[in-house]
Chain A
């Protein structure tokens, strides 16, 4: 499938089978359809030259050759996956929308094809295969922590705006692996990376780079600095949005006192973080005086607690310059994966923070990666490297082309220990997985897209 945006004049060969209407389609061969406007009405001999505006050109199916090449590539990839002990599964393409939307949030919902069936149930075309595989695992296992390893190759669907390029089709095939319930976290992570790389190599990809990230390291850093727990939560929450993160960090460093301005003046004096009950009564009184009705599910208690957190923030010591500097220095850190631990160790020593445990985890993972045959000299570590899907909770990685004109990775994945719970498990279950964007891989190994 391909979307093309173009305007211009064309001179298509007149074809009698073409029905000319307000917006006729003209097949020009090679799997391409032109939707054009500005033609003559039905039943009329069309003019020899059209004013053609190419609105959308969808390659609804690949050519047979491309299809076969993708199939052959997938067969090889799946052989690597199953050979490494991952069981091949084929989750349903149509999924209940609710589960997905609860996990992925509105941002990806905007890119998910959601529809209502004749029974009125809200369904969607799966936007990825990880969540369907989680559901499959939970259906099969009464105990969600039962260790299991799955692999798949199948289509996923995401809406793309008209301006999207060929690296972002709305239908694409993901080939991936998921490992659930493996208690040795670093071992499972190293194995995931090694298996994905083996699969990429089986498809003929030899020249590539790796990027690693580690949310565990960031959490360890936050744990080791002396700040209120609610600030810690807030900074973690904003990690995924660099702009919001910097704004929050700056706000905490500079003027928490400004927070009071948003609280009605009458209430400011009555709110006392040390006396929740009296504060709640004050809010209640304020509502009565102002004639404000309590609407919705948030009780006075919850609203008061939030107001009190603001008062506490406003009265708290601002985040120290030192703390803010440690966080900023860490966030901007980029280093070869092999030397990143040394760089982080130096940073921690200079700033007097303790991330020894996280560093040990990092080193152990690196060692396991090497033992699994991954050339870590090709890998870079980026502290800020996160993923647009917020469900990752720890180690993350991606594989990309060294001279790629596009930033779109060929493969990527990571740890997502809270996803199974979000999908319905009663507890968090260790989970790590990764997927290959097979169309991009095929383009990379066949020389296109360079």
Chain B
């Protein structure tokens, strides 16, 4: 491999662990693209058998979005929620090529089930002002999705709230008293119910799933465009 080739190689970023990694490998396999680790088995480098111009990078799911944003990766497999959260202008920075049919998760607004008077975002707006008068502070929203939350709340005219950043066990924060409501991902809703929460009637912010995504910031020379064409057409045959 000559050094000149480096700039012509396509970097594909895939999740480095967990169910998302397994499903990504399986999905690529079904499309006839066999993913293989190169070097150490615990390393983070890989290749696609038969596609010499592709380097596979195993990256944590949340960092894949950053890799796509900065152009360090040409293609990536990750959740739409993570991409939209990390890029306020995602549609300008990346191209969503394929929905991949796994990694389903809805980003939702959920309030305590005991809030009988709050069923919609407009109800939430209505109590936000009186909440501040009654309790001497803003209503607190626990979430790791700061940007998605702000954009969604703004679109619904809700402005009297404060975000409390939560990086784990978000569903438990209303019960623990650190927040009043949450914005989080859910697949079945069971965890929300178990924590005494209910999704607002119009509280689905995003129906997310794993996507194959292309970076607009990466360098796209002829060899990379060709590699992208091969990968996407293989997937087009495999993903319904």
Q: Quick check: which of B12-20, B36-44, B154-162 contacts chain A, the rest being far away?
A: B154-162
Q: Are A37 and B180 in contact (CB under 8 A)?
A: no
Q: Does A204 contact B (CB under 8 A)?
A: no
| B115: contacting residue among A53, A110, A298, CB under 8 A | A298
Q: Are B159 and A107 in contact (CB under 8 A)?
A: yes
In the complex, how many angstroms separate the beta carbon of B205 from the nearest chain A beta carbon? 15
CB contacts under 8 Å to A, within B132-171, are 134-135, 138, 146-147, 150, 153-154, 157, 159-163
Q: Are A41 and B7 in contact (CB under 8 A)?
A: yes
Query: Beta-carbon contacts of B111-139 to A below 8 Å, as 1s and 0s?
Result: 01111110110010111011100110010
CA distance in complex: A273, B61 (Å): 52
Chain B residue nearest to A20 in the complex (CB): B7
Q: Are B157 and A238 in contact (CB under 8 A)?
A: yes
Q: Does A447 contact B (CB under 8 A)?
A: no
Q: Are B160 and A105 in contact (CB under 8 A)?
A: yes
Q: Quick check: which of A74-82, A302-310, A368-376, A396-404 contacts chain B, the rest being far away?
A: A302-310
Q: Does B28 contact A (CB under 8 A)?
A: no
Q: Are A295 and B174 in contact (CB under 8 A)?
A: yes
| A162: contacting residue among B89, B161, B195, B221, CB under 8 A | B89
Query: Beta-carbon contacts of A305-332 to B below 8 Å, as 1s and 0s?
Result: 0110010000000000000000000000
Q: Does B218 contact A (CB under 8 A)?
A: yes
Given contacts A262-B119, A292-B114, contact A106 B153 (CB under 8 A): yes
CA distance in complex: A22, B67 (Å): 12
In the complex, how many angstroms separate the beta carbon of A168 from the nearest chain B beta carbon? 14
Q: Are B217 and A302 in contact (CB under 8 A)?
A: no
Indicate the member of A37, A51, A264 with the most B CB atoms within 10 Å: A37
CA distance in complex: A231, B195 (Å): 34
In the complex, how many angstroms separate the beta carbon of A49 from the nearest chain B beta carbon? 12
CA distance in complex: A255, B195 (Å): 35
A44 to chain B: which residues have CB within 8 Å?
A: 3-4
Q: Are A163 and B92 in contact (CB under 8 A)?
A: yes
In the complex, how many angstroms separate the beta carbon of B217 from the nearest chain A beta carbon? 6
Chain B residue nearest to A39 in the complex (CB): B7
CA distance in complex: A102, B174 (Å): 20
Q: Are A106 and B7 in contact (CB under 8 A)?
A: no
Chain A residue nearest to B135 in the complex (CB): A297
| B163: contacting residue among A109, A162, A300, CB under 8 A | A109
A262 to chain B: which residues have CB within 8 Å?
A: 119-120, 123
Q: Are A296 and B117 in contact (CB under 8 A)?
A: no
| B117: contacting residue among A107, A162, A310, CB under 8 A | A310
Q: Can you add 7 more A-B contacts, CB < 8 Å, to A37-B71, A41-B6, A53-B219?
A: A55-B217, A294-B114, A295-B114, A295-B174, A295-B196, A298-B112, A306-B127
Q: Which residue numbers of A lie inside 8 Å of B, CB to CB?
A: 22-23, 37-41, 44, 51, 53, 55, 101-102, 105-107, 109-110, 161-163, 233-234, 237-238, 241, 243-244, 262-264, 267, 283, 286-287, 292-298, 300, 302-303, 306-307, 310, 390
Q: Which residue numbers of B lie inside 8 Å of A, CB to CB?
A: 3-4, 6-7, 70-72, 88-89, 92, 112-117, 119-120, 123, 125-127, 129-131, 134-135, 138, 146-147, 150, 153-154, 157, 159-163, 174-175, 177, 180, 195-197, 217-221
The 9 closest A-B pairs by CB, nearest first: A38-B219, A306-B117, A295-B112, A244-B157, A294-B114, A295-B196, A110-B150, A241-B157, A37-B219
